[in-house]
Amino acid sequence: EVQLVESGGGLVQPGGSLRLSCAASGFTFRDYWMYWVRQVPGKGLEWVSRIKTDGSVTAYADSVKGRFSSSRDNAKNTLYLQMNSLRAEDSAVYYCASPFSSGFWGQGTLVTVSS
């Protein structure tokens, strides 16, 4: 069974940092480009980042560029999102996903940026 399990969310003050993790199982993780997508509760979906199979190529939404960094450890089947200089508008549920023909989505982890 395919599983993506996000962790690392929580409450953080503006300007703070968090590192999200996404543990993958049930598929050959190293073969898939992986994505982070976020969603403010009750609102729509917003793409955050993408990372190539070997981690050599990344891309970011303009809203997080320069503050967020995606990486992966294929030996540990784990995807990461390092989030720095957090703002209130970064508050959302963060999903890891391989959303195209594979249809893999995690359950999400909630990040709240507030003083």
Partner 1 sequence: DIVMTQTPLSSPVTLGQPASISCRSSQSLVHSDGNTYLSWLQQRPGQPPRLLIYKVSNRFSGVPDRFSGSGAGTDFTLKISRVEAEDVGVYYCMQGTQIPLSFGHGTNVEIK
Written as six digits, the tokens of 45 are 């979906």
Which residue in 13, 17, 107, 114 binds partner 1 (CB under 8 A)?
107
Applying the rule CB under 8 A, the residues between 77 and 96 that interact with partner 1 are 95
Cα dihedral across residues 95, 57, 28, 99: positive or negative: positive
Which residue in 18, 72, 108, 113 binds partner 1 (CB under 8 A)?
108
Contact by Cβ (8 Å): 49, 64: yes
Which residue in 24, 37, 51, 83 binds partner 1 (CB under 8 A)?
37
67 binds partner 1 (CB under 8 A): no
56 binds partner 1 (CB under 8 A): no
CB atoms inside a 10 Å sphere around CB 109: 21
Across 10-29, b (16+ Cβ under 10 Å) vs e yields eebeeeeebebbbbbeebeb
Closest CB to partner 1 among residues 44, 66 = 44
Which residue in 25, 71, 87, 100 binds partner 1 (CB under 8 A)?
100
